[in-house]
Chain A
Amino acid sequence: MGIRFILMVNKQGQTRLAQYYEWLTLEERRALEGEIVRKCLARNEQQCSFVEHRNYKIVYRRYASLFFLVGVDNDENELAILEFIHLLVETMDRHFGNVCELDIMFHLEKAHFMLEEMVMNGSIVETSKANILSPIQLMEKAS
């Protein structure tokens, strides 16, 4: 429902973060990621950011060396999802300070936590950066 999965993939096609909102086996995930990544990375700047894949859509955007791919249902507003991706990047930027791929790689669990704050059960529940980051900051202070 809504969002089905969120992936962050680098230019070489390596997955840096994968969050699925519906269960897929490891094999399926591997196959899915391979297919999608191939499709999206092959496209150039001039082409539009939406790809149709099976019975859902993939909205993606590239930030520096990282591709953010979001798989959504067919009735989602693609432009809104693009804005969501941007929000995600901004939030991570706020937290890590000038976020780059390495940050995500070394602090994968934090990225996951952030994502979990924002999206639940495939729908976006939180869009305020302050609200998203406060639990995480609390947690970091505590541990």
Chain B
Amino acid sequence: MSGPSLMDSLFQRSLEDLIKGLRQQLIGEQAFISKSLEEIRKEIKSTDLSTKSTALLKLSYLSNLHFHDMSFAVFPALEVLSSPRFSHKKIAYHAILLSFHDSTPILLLITNHLRKDLNSTNEFEVSLALQCLSRIANVDLARDLTPEVFTLLSSNKLYVRKRAVAVVLRVFEKYPDSVRVCFKRLVENLENSDPQILSAVVGVFSELVLKIFSKLAPLEPRLAKRVVEPICDLMRNTGATSLLFECIRTVVTSLSEYESAVRLAVGKVRGFLVDEDPNLKYLGLQALRIVAEKHLWAVAENKEVVIKSLSDADPNIKIESLRLVMAMVSEHNVSEMSRVLVNYALKSDPVFCNEILGSILSTCSRNLYEIIVDFDWYVSLLGEMSRIPHCQMGDEIENQLIDIGLRVKDVRPELVHVARDLLIDPALLGNSFLHGVLSAAAWESGEYVEFSRNPLELMEALLQPRTNLLPPSIRAIYIQSAFKVLVFCLHTCIMQGESIAPSASLDYLPSGVSASASYELFDDFSVENGADATVVHGQTRASAPITEESIVDLLNLVELAFGPLLGSHDVEELGPVSLSAQGKVCLPNGLVLKENLSDLEMICGDIEPSSSNSFSFGNPNEEKDGLSFSSLQIKEDSEQPHESTSLLAEHRKRHGLYYLPLRKSEIISNDYPPANDPTLQGDINDNADHLVKLTAESLVPKRKPNHSKPRPVVVKLDEVNEKPVAMKQPESRDNSLSGAVREVLFGSEDILPTSSQSNLSNSSKRKGKEKQHTDPHVESKESAVGDGNSSSRRRSQGKERRQRSPRKKNDEERKDTVQKEKKNRSGRHKSIQRAEEPLKVPAQTSVIPDFLL
């Protein structure tokens, strides 16, 4: 591209042309934009500053509204910046503001420009530079330009000074050391009579102060006491709603100990709540929520309004009122509340319905279900919730069902009942949101089958044909549970004293059962083994006597259901794990693996390892190809050592690679754990329940087995309380800043050792300033709560502050200016809000050093 031709500069499009052109393009907008971008690139290289600046202007426009990258214009922007013409400078700064950021590479180059402009005599230039600095400042810029800002803080021109103050915060943020330099000037500005400066300074302080204060609770009762009266007056008399709202908010957040103030605030909030304006309703609800934590009576008073808002047209309001309702929930009313809410949920749109359900679930499960006394009712509520048409909270319900089942032993019967209801219903199987719930139901019905009233029914439910709609992982759980139920039924059957010879029962087994589907009952279901089982059966409430025929039916059913599965590729084969892979499994801490299992002798030597119901899935007479439904390759029966060990030996021969190194002595020992399930090591105490539980563990995500205490006392796990850690985060940013401020305040004195103490004194410093801030507001209320009071009190606090007299003077000056201020309402609001919010002031503990050192 040759240099700019006459044609180019003659016909440069101005911004207006660009915009007009753009608007005229109905379809070819992108093309037009790219063409313009091309032009701009050309123009911006021109040497004529005007051309450049127009190009820059156009580019800013495009970038701002059409998201085009303008990083190529960085250099030209700087060039335009050096133009003597103000308009060019303005354009350049504008462009810079839009496009520069911390990682712009040539940010350093701008330092000199900024410095020049900051020192210029033209106040507008200065303000331009300040504005720019405020947005793009980074550490280097802040550091380099601190001296200039410092000078400007005491500039003669109001316009400049105000902006300098506003910039100061940003500079502080980026470069905390600058605090040392600028702070005093900043504080001096506090005494400035001009309201604009004042509000700017107040703003800065509120920002600085707010973050520190927000962590320290309202500890300064004296200040609060003084301020309460004026605020209440304000609330009563003001016509400005926003001011009213601010007062309300202040009262409820930081002055909540003052009953009268709170009552007044709540009264006003009620006014908000019944107002037509949805804005006010929303804000009223929010304020009520803040109050609710300490003053539940306030919410109770307004209960009807809140519940009415649940059905408001505005979703925001609905959600707010829902949160409020949740805040009102306690032990006594949780069931009615949930009833009401579930009714609402049924009538509402899907989004809100799920909101409601979600909040019910989270509130009830908070702190390990501390709010729930009647778990039976809650469990049935969970079942009901799953049936709500729009419910998408399946996962949460699933978690809670399983969680409650584990922790609360007494509720298990009811749980099984609910599970049965869920499993029986074929319609639920089609709903994909409910799969989680169904899997939980299935697991629980298998796990706690002894509590069920009709296991046969359960079995049928688990095996119904529509279960093939479920995804494989959930079907696996169904199958597991089906087997658990079956085992249980068989136990009951045997225990009920049916005197059939086991071999006879075997005859009933259809002979054509395929290899992997059959399982064998070894000859003795020894009674000792039933020692545990009888305990279990004592609790059985089987209403349907489990007869021999029913068992046979069950078995037929099982075979029918699972037969086709075997050929399907969904069934996964759990292969053996190779030695090297086993080697890669890292040991958990504290687990000491021994070379052999001789220690087990000591532990379990007295227990007869003669558990005789071991199920091996796989007909021993037929070839084992390693297929098994689950890792239920459990223990060998002592009665049949030869058969089982020969099986084992056979398997070892074929898959020797995958077995752990052989210990000769243990090859025939019954303590030898199944080769491919290292988790079962050490667990040799078999009986059906344990076996079943083990399989459950391997399929269901690991949950720590809890022993629940008798009552609906919910079991807690060892959990580390993590809350204190989170508090650290917001402080880290402030620490550098507050550290710097601290240093400034204490000057050369020793800094107090503990951070909290120094924070306190830091904040007590703040409090001093806060008192200054609040004075104008206090006085604006004609009820001069006492300039005299305040200063005498401060005097009495025992630390001399030299600026007391000048402060007093300033207070009076401010009184006059305050009336003028009233006109600029928004700004005032801002400053009032800023000043009043951090009224939570800490206790004044220690030395208040004079900052006019």
Contact = CB atoms under 8 A, between A and B. Distances in A.
A77 B833 contact: yes
A126 B61 CA distance: 25
Contacts of A49: 278-279
Interface in A19-52: 21, 23, 26, 29-30, 43, 46-52
B747 interface: no
A65 interface: no
B807 interface: no
B163 A120 contact: yes
A135 B124 contact: yes
Contacts of A16: 65
A76 B832 CA distance: 12
B169 interface: yes
A123 B57 contact: no
B310 to A, nearest CB: 15
B200 A79 contact: no
B210 A75 contact: yes
A117 B233 CA distance: 34
B163 A47 contact: no
Contacts of B169: 1, 121
Contacts of A113: 90, 94
B90 A83 contact: no
A29 B70 CA distance: 14
Interface string B135-146: 100000000000
A18 B317 contact: no
The A contact surface, by secondary structure, is mixed
Contacts of A135: 124, 127, 159
Nearest to A50: B282
B166 A79 contact: no
Nearest to A86: B826
B417 to A, nearest CB: 41
Nearest to A113: B90
Contacts of A64: none
Interface in B1-27: 15-16, 19-20, 23
A84 B826 contact: yes
A142 B830 contact: no
B203 interface: yes
B167 A121 contact: yes
Given A16-B65, A109-B15, A135-B124, A127 B824 contact: yes
Contact of A121 (B63, B135, B196): B135
B251 to A, nearest CB: 14
A79 B242 contact: yes
B242 A138 contact: no
B177 interface: no
A87 B196 contact: no
Nearest to A85: B826
Contacts of A82: 242, 279
Interface string A86-106: 010000000000000000011
A125 B65 contact: no
Interface in B171-196: 196
Contacts of A108: 15, 19, 61, 64-65
B69 A18 contact: no
Contact of A75 (B101, B241, B315, B837): B837
A127 B830 CA distance: 10
A21 B135 contact: yes
B323 to A, nearest CB: 11
A79 B283 contact: yes
A143 B87 contact: yes
B769 interface: no
B91 A109 contact: yes
A12 interface: no
Interface string B45-82: 00000000000010011011101110000000000000
A52 B320 CA distance: 11
B167 A120 contact: yes
Nearest to A59: B279
Contacts of A127: 824-828
A30 B242 CA distance: 32
A123 B207 CA distance: 10
Given A121-B134, A121-B135, A83 B87 contact: no
B830 A80 contact: yes
Interface string A106-129: 101100110010001101111110
B313 interface: yes
B22 to A, nearest CB: 9
Contact of B315 (A47, A76, A78, A87): A47
A142 B57 CA distance: 18
Interface string B822-840: 0011111110010001000
A43 B281 CA distance: 16
A46 B313 contact: yes
B279 A1 contact: no
Given A48-B316, A50-B279, A121-B169, A30 B67 contact: yes
Given A48-B314, A77-B246, A109 B279 contact: no
Contacts of B130: 120
Given A23-B101, A123-B200, A48 B282 contact: yes
Contacts of A87: 826
B316 A47 contact: yes
B453 interface: no
A126 B130 CA distance: 15
Given A23-B101, A48-B314, A112-B94, A105 B19 contact: yes
B162 interface: yes
A139 B134 CA distance: 22
Interface string A44-74: 0011111110000000000000000000000
B149 to A, nearest CB: 12
Contact of B313 (A30, A47, A75): A47
A23 B316 contact: no
A50 B159 CA distance: 33
Contacts of B127: 135
Given A120-B167, A121-B170, A139 B249 contact: no
B378 interface: no
A139 B86 contact: yes
B102 A23 contact: yes
Contacts of B828: 127
B746 interface: no
B617 interface: no
Nearest to B87: A143
A18 B64 contact: yes
Interface string B287-330: 00000000000000000000000000111110000000000000
A60 to B, nearest CB: 11
Nearest to B170: A121
Nearest to B825: A83
Contacts of A121: 134-135, 166-167, 169-170
B131 interface: yes
B245 interface: yes
Interface in B95-130: 97, 101-102, 124, 127, 130
A49 to B, nearest CB: 5
B245 A79 contact: yes
Contacts of A79: 241-242, 245-246, 279, 283
Contacts of B94: 109, 112-113
Contacts of A143: 86-87
Contact of A120 (B134, B241, B242): B134
18 contacts: A2-B207, A15-B65, A17-B64, A18-B64, A23-B102, A26-B68, A30-B67, A47-B278, A48-B282, A80-B826, A108-B15, A108-B65, A109-B15, A109-B60, A113-B90, A120-B163, A125-B199, A127-B826
Interface of A: 1-2, 14-18, 21, 23, 26, 29-30, 43, 46-52, 75-80, 82-84, 87, 105-106, 108-109, 112-113, 116, 120-121, 123-128, 135, 138-139, 142-143
Given A82-B279, A116-B97, 20 more contacts: A18-B65, A26-B63, A30-B67, A46-B313, A48-B277, A48-B282, A49-B278, A50-B279, A77-B833, A80-B826, A82-B242, A87-B826, A105-B19, A109-B60, A113-B94, A120-B134, A121-B135, A135-B127, A135-B159, A143-B86
